[in-house]
Amino acid sequence: MRLAFDPGPRPRGLDAFLGEIPDALFDDRTFACCELVARYADDLALDLARRLNLAPALARGASTAELASGLGFADSFRPALESLLGRLAAAGELERSPCDCGAAVWVAPRPLREPELAELRARGLELDPAMAPSLDLLDAAAAAYPAVAAGLTTGEHELFSAGRIALWLAYFSNRNPVYALNNLQTAVVAARRLGARPGARVLEVGGGAGSFSVALLEELDRQGRLADLALYDFTEPSPFFRRRGERELHARFPGVALRARGLDIDLPYEEQGPVDGPYDLAVGVNVLHVARDLVATLTRLREALRPGGWLVAGECLRLFPDQPVPADLVFQIFRSFTEVSTDPELRPSHGFLEPSSWRRALAAAGFEEVSVVPDLDRIRDLYPRFFAGVVLGRRPL
């Protein structure tokens, strides 16, 4: 059976809940690109089920542990396998039933459908050729699965080797419409919280090669506020990404007082060189969910702010418990993503969090005026795959 891909226009009524996010950032084309990527991830999961030889055991019914031991998968592959099975279930390909053994049993009620990767890629490039890096990164991750499953290598080794850098630079880019949404909406929210304040100091964590920094500085420039900045403290632990980011930011914004340095969000800041706070604004896009101890990391960020200063973090979010997000297919094979401390209340599982978990974690770290923008609790009932949000909180005055 062939499945048509026709996402149509974005759901009506969404605009009412975008709040301070301009409608133009989530137009029909961006919506269609996001839908295409979600469908591509589902079809890659079907393709992986074949490549990992999951189908015979799934036809009989098996728990994740039985599948893993029957096929000789490494223990470290377990989170990625669980996520892959969850994605197939969410796509209607598997049923998940409880078993006396305590674990869930996954069953394929009929043969898994054939993936349509080539057709979907062609359709995606027709929609917007600039979305290619999102599909390329998913493909690269999927290609690594069999060797990672067999314990022959790690996701980090396969996807962070020198030959792969171009893939990441193209993906974390404001030219890639699927990723840019994270940066652009975070930039709008962050610029607003910074307020018109001469002498403002901004700390960015996990700045990578600077795609969010560019989005924020462009937004401030558009508003004629670049001259307000006394310091843009651009931090990123990877020297390669940091140097790329620093070069680009100096070239694009020569008048901005930029400082580039390494900073690990898991460690106390005083141990890592001089702290130039207190900051008016702390920002980061798609970095805080890898914090090993989320509340400790958020607490450090709060302490680095002046009273009344804001933390604004762009994050990929899941809108329902265990909901698969396309980026899971890439990041579930990374230890930095899976090996974090969990807590039933504040951080129920590793990986991308739900808006309610972020709100609880920020409150536990002492932030006030905690919120998630746009209003994803309302949006999810109209469109359950709006995976980009901005989480924010303020240091009490």
Ligand X SMILES: C[S@@+](CC[C@H](N)C(=O)[O-])C[C@H]1O[C@@H](n2cnc3c(N)ncnc32)[C@H](O)[C@@H]1O
How many Å apart are CA 24 and CA 177, to the nearest integer?
12
Q: How far is the CB of 288 from ligand X (least distance, A)?
A: 9
Considering only residues 148, 189, 290, 372, which one is a binding residue for ligand X as defined by CB under 6 A? 290
Q: How far is the CB of 23 from ligand X (least distance, A)?
A: 23
Q: How far is the CB of 267 from ligand X (least distance, A)?
A: 8
293 contributes a contact to ligand X by CB under 6 A: no
Q: How far is the CB of 219 from ligand X (least distance, A)?
A: 14
Backbone dihedral region for residue 266 (phi beyond 0: left; psi -120 to 50: alpha; all else: beta): alpha
Beta bridge pairs of residue 284 = 313
Element (DSSP H or E) covering residue 281: strand 279-285
| φ and ψ of 366, to 5 deg | 90, 15
- Among residues 218 and 236, whose Cβ is nearest to ligand X? 236
Q: Pick the stretch among 72-80, 126-134, 230-238, 380-388 that binds ligand X (CB under 6 A).
A: 230-238
Q: Pick the stretch among 78-86, 102-110, 157-165, 201-209 that binds ligand X (CB under 6 A).
A: 201-209
CA angle 126/127/133 to nearest 5° reads 85
319 contributes a contact to ligand X by CB under 6 A: no
Q: How far is the CB of 91 from ligand X (least distance, A)?
A: 25
299 contributes a contact to ligand X by CB under 6 A: no
DSSP state of 77: G
8 A C-beta contact, residue 237 and residue 228: no
- Among residues 66 and 264, whose Cβ is nearest to ligand X? 264
Q: Which two tokens stand for residue 6?
A: 């026709």
- Among residues 104 and 267, whose Cβ is nearest to ligand X? 267
Q: How far is the CB of 329 from ligand X (least distance, A)?
A: 15
CA angle 30/36/38 to nearest 5° reads 105
Considering only residues 58, 281, 287, 295, which one is a binding residue for ligand X as defined by CB under 6 A? 287
207 contributes a contact to ligand X by CB under 6 A: yes
- Among residues 172 and 310, whose Cβ is nearest to ligand X? 172
Considering only residues 106, 212, 279, 387, which one is a binding residue for ligand X as defined by CB under 6 A? 212
Kindly report each contact of residues 303-307 with a partner whose C-beta sits within 8 Å and lies 24 or more positions away, as own/partner.
304/203, 304/269, 304/275, 304/277, 304/278, 304/279, 305/277, 305/278, 305/279, 305/280, 305/281, 305/395, 306/277, 306/278, 306/279, 306/280, 306/395, 307/395, 307/396, 307/397
Q: How far is the CB of 277 from ligand X (least distance, A)?
A: 16
CA distances from 240 to 143, 155, 160, 244, 247 (A): 24, 19, 11, 6, 11
8 A C-beta contact, residue 19 and residue 76: no
Q: Which amino acid is at 345?
A: E
181 contributes a contact to ligand X by CB under 6 A: no
Considering only residues 137, 159, 217, 265, which one is a binding residue for ligand X as defined by CB under 6 A? 265
Query: Among candidates 284, 220, 209, 280, which has minimal Cα distance to 251?
Result: 209
Q: How far is the CB of 381 from ligand X (least distance, A)?
A: 28
- Among residues 245 and 324, whose Cβ is nearest to ligand X? 245
Residues numbered 231-260 forming contacts with ligand X, rule: CB under 6 A: 236-238, 241
Considering only residues 155, 206, 324, 393, which one is a binding residue for ligand X as defined by CB under 6 A? 206
Considering only residues 83, 176, 286, 357, which one is a binding residue for ligand X as defined by CB under 6 A? 286
How many Å apart are CA 36 and CA 5, to the nearest integer?
8
Residues numbered 68-107 forming contacts with ligand X, rule: CB under 6 A: none
Binding positions for ligand X, rule: CB under 6 A: 172, 183, 205-208, 211-212, 236-238, 241, 264-266, 285-287, 290, 336
